[in-house]
Amino acid sequence: MTTPIIVGNWKMNGLSADSADRVKALLAGLASQRATGTEVVICPPFTQLALLAPQLKGSPVALGAQNCHMDEKGAHTGDIAPGMLTDLGVTHVILGHSERRRDHGEVDETVREKAVSAAKAGLTPVVCIGETEDQRQSGEAQDAIGWQIKGSLPDGFAGVVAYEPIWAIGTGLAATPDDIRTTVAFIRAELVRQFGESGKTLRILYGGSVDAGNAASILAIPDVAGALVGGASLKPDVFLSIVHAVPAR
């Protein structure tokens, strides 16, 4: 039985006061509700990690980051090394998000190298894959996803895979349960093909406009072990409803 996991990606949102308030509300909500057995991770901007780490220490919410560099240190102005994250108490890191691939030209090889370095530093990499609208319409979605799995996940990968159809990110459009079921089954088959027995238990998340209204139907899909939540993670009550939509396993 794999442990479900809900990851909140705050993206480029959060100043000190509202970040602290958001976490306070999240922790209060978790304390007032039944334990779910679900891992909960929030990934605020880099500027908020040191502020929120003491607030989250010893809590049921883990601290994640939205990116890291592949090198341990060096002349990389503006970048953050994996060890700098663990030094703050960060345990997870999102890698290869489509917005990083789009805005910063990250390719599969870059994501793979980051995943290796993140794991070496003790972080759990959450590696994102997903197809564009053009690839979807042309029937090339599975080919695109297959190549991303092959290129982005290193040998011995033991992290988390997040399937985020690019056309659904931040658009309010989510893939239908049938679409998700079909694609996640394909991803599982590819993971088994690449990693053998360990590919059967790697956790697969769904992301892309997950909200309180669709979370339960998405999280009920076999092989979906959780969600990577974007905008809805900025609203503690909505994020909590997604956490509590995870079915008993």
Q: Is 214 annotated as a binding residue?
A: no
Backbone phi and psi for residue 187, each to the nearest 5 degrees, phi listed first:
-60, -45
Q: Is 159 annotated as a binding residue?
A: no
Catalytic residue status for 164: yes
Q: Is 10 annotated as a binding residue?
A: yes
Q: Is 29 annotated as a binding residue?
A: no
Q: Which of 40, 38, 58, 62 is nearest to 49 (CA)?
A: 62
Q: Is 170 annotated as a binding residue?
A: yes
CA quadruple 138, 221, 225, 54: dihedral positive or negative? positive
Catalytic residue status for 113: no
Q: Is 98 annotated as a binding residue?
A: no
Say if CB 235 and CB 209 are below 8 A apart.
no
Q: Is 9 annotated as a binding residue?
A: yes
Q: What is the DSSP string of the chain?
A: -PPPEEEEE--S---HHHHHHHHHHHHHHHHHS-----EEEEE--HHHHHHHHHHHTTSSEEEEES---SSSSSS-TT---HHHHHTTT--EEEES-HHHHHHH---HHHHHHHHHHHHHTT-EEEEEE---HHHHHTT-HHHHHHHHHHHHSPTT--SEEEE--GGGTTTS----HHHHHHHHHHHHHHHHHHHGGGGGT-EEEEESS--TTTHHHHHTSTT--EEEESGGGGSHHHHHHHHTTSPP-
Q: Which of 97, 99, 106, 131 is catalytic?
A: 97
Residues in binding site: 9-11, 170, 209, 230-231
Residues that are catalytic: 97, 164
Annotated binding site for substrate: 9-11, 170, 209, 230-231
